[in-house]
Structure 1
Amino acid sequence: MGHWLERNIVEPGKLPLLLALTAFVLTFVITRAITRLIRAGKGPFGNVKAGGLHIHHVVPGVVLVVVGGFGAVASSRNGLGAALAAIVFGIGAGLVLDEFALILHLGDVYWTEEGRKSVEVVVITAALVGLLLAGFSPFGVNDLSAGELQDRGTVIANVVANFAFSLVALSKGKARIAIFGVIVPLVGLVGAARLARPGSAWARRFYGNRPRARARAGLRAYHHDRRWSRLTRSLQDWIGGKPDRPEPVRLPGPGPGPGPGPGPGPGPDAGRR
């Protein structure tokens, strides 16, 4: 493990990326734990306020991202400054993306259905950064043997092929499969081979004059969403907390009438002016 870490992380200069990813994931986990305690009214935590204004943690997150980003640019590649800047940047990114939905909707949707987008973005970001971190790079590693160079070239070719399949899956309206297809082999191929979702760019381009294909695509999308939506929601609730239930719509009651009986009807001259 130590040899692999030295060979593939430290030597190619990926140590700051590892520190940033670790800080990012830990910050998200700790932040979600604290916000769930605040929501449940447990622990010594509470919302940060200044003069009655609720300061969301995206605000210090933006500051940390700016400080960490400029610090990384100003630091050497593998120095102590780069490592500290990477940690600061990872913490800031975790705070910002934890409230990604608030930025997207410009509203306090943290514990609503729209707030699930924050969890999705955090998971996808961590997966993509993990791919960059674990990927074999033929650059920056000294004294590669012919076998090592061939192995790394094979891995890179597979990643490029998976990326091409993922682009097709993305055009078919399957964003999650497209993203994870870059990371997990054959996932993008499966997404690219299956029917496109209705309304996607692929469906508009190739199903326009094929009503049977459009009908099959709509039916498959319906069954897919029905089969997997509950599992997806349960996983999101486990990671980020269950959103609040929307308040029921209250219809206005009948106004006060003139009396228990019907009022007088219109006279014979009603409507004449």
Structure 2
Amino acid sequence: MGHWLERNIVEPGKLPLLLALTAFVLTFLITRVVTRMIRAGKGPFGNVKAGGMHIHHVVPGVVLTVVGGFGAVASGQSGFGAGLCAVLFGMGAGLVLDEFALILHLDDVYWTEAGRKSVEVVVLTAALVGLVLLGFLPFGVNDLSDEDIQNRGGAMLSVGVNFFFSLLALSKGKARTAIFGVIVPFVALLGALRLARPGSLWAKRFYGRRPRARSRSTLRAYRHDRRWAGPRRRIQDLIGGKPDPAPARTPVSR
């Protein structure tokens, strides 16, 4: 374990990234525990207010992110300063992305159905950074041999090809597959080869005069969403808390 940590984390200079990821995940989890306790009216916690205005935790998150980011640039890539700045940056990013939905909608949607987007973005970010730490990023290893240099050239070519397939997957409405495909080989290829989702750029461009392809695309998307929507929602509820039920709409009298 020590050798693996030295070779794959310390030697390539990824220790600050590990610290940032740890701080990011812990900050998000602690923040969700606190906000759920506030929501339930338990514990000594409460909303932070100034002059009667609710201060969302995205505000200190932005401050920590700025301080950690600029501090990392100023301190270099090693030493105590770099580690401290990485922790500050991770904490700030955790607070900011925990309210990603608020930033996206410019509205307090934290406990609404739209607020699920924050949990999804946090999980996606943590997964991508985790993949980088596990060595899926083919750059940044010191003391390369001639064989390593040749492998690096092949890895760079592979990343370029994967990025091309990621663009195809993105055009087919498969954003998650496209994002992971930049890092994990062949993931984007699967998304690029499969049918596009209805309403995607690819479907609008190439399925307009192909009713059979349109119907297959719609059926596959329906089956996929029906299979995975329930488990995905349960995991999001477990991590971030269950959203408030949507208010019933009052019928408009005519």
The TM-score with structure 1 as length reference comes to 0.84
Larger-Rg structure: 1
CA contact (8 A) 1:58 1:95 kept: yes
Q: Are residues 1:169 and 2:169 paired?
A: yes
Write out per-residue CA displacement over residues 9-51 of structure 1, whole angstroms, 9 at most, x where no aligned residue. 2222221111111111111111111111111122221111122
Write out per-residue CA displacement over residues 169-200 of structure 1, whole angstroms, 9 at most, x where no aligned residue. 11100112222334555432322221101111
CA contact (8 A) 1:138 1:149 kept: no
Q: Distance in 1 between matches of 2:190 and 2:240?
A: 28
CA contact (8 A) 1:171 1:202 kept: yes
CA contact (8 A) 1:127 1:183 kept: no
CA contact (8 A) 1:98 1:119 kept: yes
Q: Distance in 2 between matches of 1:200 and 1:252?
A: 34
Q: 1:259: which partner in 2?
A: none
Q: 1:18: which partner in 2?
A: 18
Q: Distance in 2 between matches of 1:194 and 1:177?
A: 11
Q: 2:92: which partner in 1?
A: 92
Q: 1:230: which partner in 2?
A: 230
The TM-score with structure 2 as length reference comes to 0.90
Q: Distance in 2 between matches of 1:89 and 1:158?
A: 30
What does 1:38-77 correspond to in 2, within 5 Å? Answer: 38-77=38-77
CA contact (8 A) 2:136 2:183 kept: no
One-letter amino acid of the structure 1 residue matched with residue 58 of structure 2: V
Which has the larger share of helix? Answer: 2
One-letter amino acid of the structure 2 residue matched with residue 72 of structure 1: A
Q: Are residues 1:135 and 2:136 paired?
A: yes
CA contact (8 A) 2:138 2:155 kept: no
Q: Distance in 1 between matches of 2:139 and 2:105?
A: 41
Give how far 1:168 is off: 1.6
Write out per-residue CA displacement over residues 45-82 of structure 1, whole angstroms, 9 at most, x where no aligned residue. 11111222111100100111111111111112102111
Q: Distance in 2 between matches of 1:200 and 1:222?
A: 14
One-letter amino acid of the structure 2 residue matched with residue 20 of structure 1: A
Higher alpha-carbon deviation: 83-92 or 34-43: 34-43
Q: 1:212: which partner in 2?
A: 212
Higher alpha-carbon deviation: 205-214 or 23-32: 205-214
Give how far 1:156 is off: 5.3
Give how far 1:162 is off: 3.7
Q: 2:194: which partner in 1?
A: 194
One-letter amino acid of the structure 1 residue matched with residue 210 of structure 2: R
Higher alpha-carbon deviation: 243-252 or 33-42: 243-252
- Show structure 2 runs of 5+ residues with no match: none
Pair 163,230 (structure 1): closer, same or farther in 2 beyond 3 Å: same
What does 1:178-193 correspond to in 2, within 5 Å? Answer: 178-193=178-193
Higher alpha-carbon deviation: 213-222 or 107-116: 213-222
Q: 2:244: which partner in 1?
A: 244
